[in-house]
Structure 1
Amino acid sequence: MNVIAIFDIGKTNKKVFLFNENYQIVWENAVNFPEIVDEDGFPCDDIAALENWIKSRLSEIKSFPQYILKAINFSTYGASFVYVDDAGKPLTPLYNYLKSYPHVLKREFYAKYKGEEKFAIKTASPVLGSLNSGMQIYRLKEENPTLFDKVKYCLHLPQYLSLLFTGQFFTDVTSIGCHTNLWNFKKNKYHKWLKKENILAKIPPINFAENTIKIDGDVSVGVGLHDSSAAIIPYTINFSEPFVLLSTGTWSISLNPFNDTLLTYEELKKDCLCYLQYKEKPVKAARLFAGNEHETQTKRLARHYKLPLDAYKKIVYNKRIVSKLREKNLKWHSSKLDKCKILKESIFDQRNLDDFESYETAYHQLMLDIVDQQILSTELVIYNSPVKKIFVDGGFSKNSIFMNLLAQAFPEMEVYAASMAQASALGAALAIHKNWNPKPIPNDLIDLKFYRN
């Protein structure tokens, strides 16, 4: 059986999948490494352990008599650089994008380049400190110039993993086009600050994600993708009518591949940004910390009602409860409040749990509050675009309350819960389809459940 191996590297779980030519998973393996610390004592991923695990899993895959390995690709979390020397060896730890950024350095940088507002608009990057991965390069250059001089290339994590097998240095647009401060979306090229700071020479040439490099005679190796951009590929391949993908997990990210309007500073302040798809088209996106809010508040509910943490899993959508809550006017009114504040602050946290007659009622109110935030976030990417469908994948796609409330909130849209096996890994496999798979791409990769408003 011909297969493709996809290494799907998250912040917590590191996974590898084998897909057959019909894009069904035929084998998988997962691991979770303990973090190590960088020179400042801040937690970070262990790049050496990751490298060893990938190489040993690949040796294992090659030993399977039932599989013929035809291709390899990578999808990983973004905003993480590996700084390598001439031989391709890492010179630093894999710094964590959650690490706080020096205030003085940040202030000096934006002062040099026309201020936060103008810079953020050009690069479609909200001001996020280390999450703007280009700022990590700037920090290394300013704080450790001797070490920086030894850096041959700055590689985003997917391209470093590809380098391990191809020996070739590349950049990929899905990594550089993701709140990195590197890309000028107005001019569709790198921002000029990279050249001024003598950094551009340390960014390797772009190789597009649908291209591959041959190794071992007949194995095609991709250059890797940023996982959020990889996850949208199955949808853009399967659906040609305009849609928004609401990808839910710790973050709920609304992605609109049919909206390439330039961002305003107001949108950036509301956590709106742009991604670059693997074929270079911009995707307008908006982030909401909804999964984290759900986790925090369900813990609070469990404590208050003395129930198990996962008690919410037994709660199903109850139209009568929703109607009663709306009649009582417990629902906040977004039109009268600061939308930036609503998107960033918990509404439910301000509620008195003694006001609710039961856990079930309180949980419905939590979902009403989260969906009200979600409406504001998703509307940021729908505005002025021809979208008629919303696909929801991830955790909230399985939540009947969330899905019913969302369908009611967008009566002019068709709202679907979408499910597929491992979206980002599948997207990384599909990106290089033409280089390993002679069969046509199946049209039933995504299962859909329609929710009526």
Structure 2
Amino acid sequence: MTRNPVIAIFDVGKTNKKLFLFDEQYKIVFERTARFTETTDEDGDPCENLESLRLSVFDSLREVFKRKDIEVKAINFSTYGASLVYIDEDGRPLTPLYNYLKTYPGPLKQQFYQKYGGEAAFSAQTASPVLGSLNSGMQLYRLKHERPELCKDVKYALHLPQYMSYLLAGVPCSDITSIGCHTNLWDFQQNDYHPWVKQEGLLDKMAPLVASNEVMPAVFPGNNYSIGTGLHDSSAALIPYLVNFHEPFVLISTGTWCISMNPFNHTPLTEAELAQDCLCYMTFQRKPVKASRLFAGYEHELQVKRIAEHFNQNTMRYRSVDFDAGIIATLRHRKPVAKGTGITAFGNRDLATFSTDVEAYHQLMLDIADEQYKSTQLVLKGTRVKRIFVDGGFSKNVIYMNLLAAMFPETEVFAASMAQATAMGAALAVHSSWNRKALPNDLIELKYYALAHNAAI
């Protein structure tokens, strides 16, 4: 029997842990999803069960290697960022995998920023808004100051994708997509670790930086295959677009957060942009990606429930509401409502003023699109972007897509769809090390949204 060459990708999210096998055409030939019960750290805060994750990787691979129809040529990883695994000389984790949502001590945070130039200047240097534990470098700083004896035993602080790579390759390494993502570790102006890392005596605890397309031989038993270094999931999701499109574009990746990423905007972040939740990611090619964030998916979920309850409808109804340009034109003439403390103005709107639930839903999408326009404009400034790609949940929402097309009349707006962009990005990053075939040019399916002139937007 001829064995089909594949790459195995472990795609680890906060909720779902997935394993995919891609063939040389980047078609998924195997998929498995697992969920683990969270454990707690020494403070009783919830955190990832690192041991369950480790065992799951080994068990899954043993099963895959038994198959006679495939041959695993490479393995790579894409995981959520901002979480560090502290390993000792023997590669054993010394602490739990602390949750990036863990509350950060106020006095320690104040001490750090006072010592290293103040929040505004420091954030500009590191392209990292002040996010507490979500700045993973702050977790390492906390370990050093709160548990100095344990910190001495740390050989390396590895981000989660690189820890998973270490499990199979036995080679500790750092990757720029993890180090360069709102960690407080990387100085974007100097293109190197920020001086504080060395001043705190922590530079030696950062494993050597390895290029994202490099692979290493495996130490885990099996056939002859290579191990990638692992990637931060947001950077991995951008790779299929960077591979397929070379003219400047912006990707709006939609989900709970709607993140606008511009890989063609290399201007330094300003204080004003940082204050509006802008940050920088780093591509696998070591180039900064200016990004802005909007909590729009969460807002949509919240307000859809409110609409459904008021009009006595099922929330499922709003998954496929047709776009009505006439309703939008009417809504545009309504008296503006102040935004208040919410993501959009919709939370302050009186639902009794809408004649139908469909009209109310159009207003919600209009309010979301208005905020999305402002958020995306933050990363568009000063660049010649001609295309906007939208992927994720909102790419299937025809009201959202038509509104965006109208709000960006000089730009082509596309709904993009592809199977498992994050996992595919991790596979594409190491393409040349496992795949004998040329990169396919049909990875992404696009649907163009023309400007609806009669929408009066």
Q: TM-score, normalised by structure 2?
A: 0.96
Give 2:145's aligned residue.
142
CA drift of 1:166 comes to: 0.4
Give 1:180's aligned residue.
183
Give 2:45's aligned residue.
42
1:438 and 2:436 matched: yes
**CA distance in structure 2 between the aligned counterparts of 1:166 and 1:358, rounded to whole angstroms:** 59
Give 1:112's aligned residue.
115
Q: 3-state DSSP class of the match of 2:96?
A: coil
| 1:154-194, Cα deviation, whole Å (9 max, x unpaired) | 00000000000000100000000000000000000000000
Give 1:376's aligned residue.
374
Equivalent pair of 1:22/1:442 in contact (CA under 8 Å):
yes
**CA distance in structure 1 between the aligned counterparts of 2:320 and 2:408, rounded to whole angstroms:** 26
| 1:44-92, Cα deviation, whole Å (9 max, x unpaired) | 1101001111111111110111110100000000000000011111111
Query: C-alpha root-mean-square deviation of aligned residues, in Å?
Result: 1.2
**CA distance in structure 2 between the aligned counterparts of 1:316 and 1:237, rounded to whole angstroms:** 33
**CA distance in structure 2 between the aligned counterparts of 1:294 and 1:34, rounded to whole angstroms:** 28
1:254 and 2:260 matched: yes
Give 1:273's aligned residue.
279
Give 1:208's aligned residue.
211
CA drift of 1:133 comes to: 0.6
| 1:81-138, Cα deviation, whole Å (9 max, x unpaired) | 0000111111111100111111111001000001000000000000010110100101
**CA distance in structure 1 between the aligned counterparts of 2:162 and 2:258, rounded to whole angstroms:** 26
1:61 and 2:64 matched: yes
Give 1:391's aligned residue.
389
**CA distance in structure 1 between the aligned counterparts of 2:94 and 2:313, rounded to whole angstroms:** 49
Q: Quick one: percent identity of the two aligned structures?
A: 56
Give 2:26's aligned residue.
23
**CA distance in structure 1 between the aligned counterparts of 2:83 and 2:305, rounded to whole angstroms:** 31
CA drift of 1:217 comes to: 6.3
Give the aligned residue type for 1:425.
A
Q: 3-state DSSP class of the match of 2:441?
A: coil
Q: TM-score, normalised by structure 1?
A: 0.97
Unaligned runs of 5+ in 1: none
Q: 3-state DSSP class of the match of 2:332?
A: helix
Equivalent pair of 1:325/1:331 in contact (CA under 8 Å):
no
**CA distance in structure 2 between the aligned counterparts of 1:306 and 1:113, rounded to whole angstroms:** 55
Give the aligned residue type for 1:352.
D
Q: Paired residue for 1:129, among 125, 129, 132?
A: 132
Give 2:225's aligned residue.
219
**CA distance in structure 2 between the aligned counterparts of 1:331 and 1:285, rounded to whole angstroms:** 28
Q: 3-state DSSP class of the match of 1:6?
A: strand
**CA distance in structure 1 between the aligned counterparts of 2:74 and 2:343, rounded to whole angstroms:** 45
**CA distance in structure 1 between the aligned counterparts of 2:307 and 2:90, rounded to whole angstroms:** 54
Equivalent pair of 2:299/2:343 in contact (CA under 8 Å):
no
Q: 3-state DSSP class of the match of 2:315?
A: coil
**CA distance in structure 2 between the aligned counterparts of 1:144 and 1:36, rounded to whole angstroms:** 21
User: Is the alpha carbon distance of 1:410 and 1:109 closer, same or farther for their aligned partners in structure 2, counting shifts above 3 Å?
Assistant: same
| 1:190-214, Cα deviation, whole Å (9 max, x unpaired) | 0000011111110000011100002
Equivalent pair of 1:416/1:450 in contact (CA under 8 Å):
yes
**CA distance in structure 2 between the aligned counterparts of 1:149 and 1:299, rounded to whole angstroms:** 50
Equivalent pair of 2:295/2:343 in contact (CA under 8 Å):
no
Give the aligned residue type for 1:322.
I
Equivalent pair of 1:331/1:368 in contact (CA under 8 Å):
no
Give 1:301's aligned residue.
307
Equivalent pair of 2:162/2:172 in contact (CA under 8 Å):
yes
Give 1:414's aligned residue.
412
Give the aligned residue type for 1:225.
L
Q: 3-state DSSP class of the match of 1:275?
A: strand
Equivalent pairs, count = 445
Equivalent pair of 2:337/2:345 in contact (CA under 8 Å):
no
Equivalent pair of 2:213/2:430 in contact (CA under 8 Å):
yes
**CA distance in structure 1 between the aligned counterparts of 2:334 and 2:132, rounded to whole angstroms:** 42
Give the aligned residue type for 1:127.
V
**CA distance in structure 2 between the aligned counterparts of 1:4 and 1:258, rounded to whole angstroms:** 29
Q: Paired residue for 1:264, among 257, 265, 270?
A: 270
| 1:232-254, Cα deviation, whole Å (9 max, x unpaired) | 00000100100000000110000
Answer with 291-300 or 392-401: which moved more.
291-300
CA drift of 1:331 comes to: 6.6
Q: Paired residue for 1:232, among 233, 238, 258?
A: 238
**CA distance in structure 1 between the aligned counterparts of 2:188 and 2:411, rounded to whole angstroms:** 29
CA drift of 1:358 comes to: 1.1
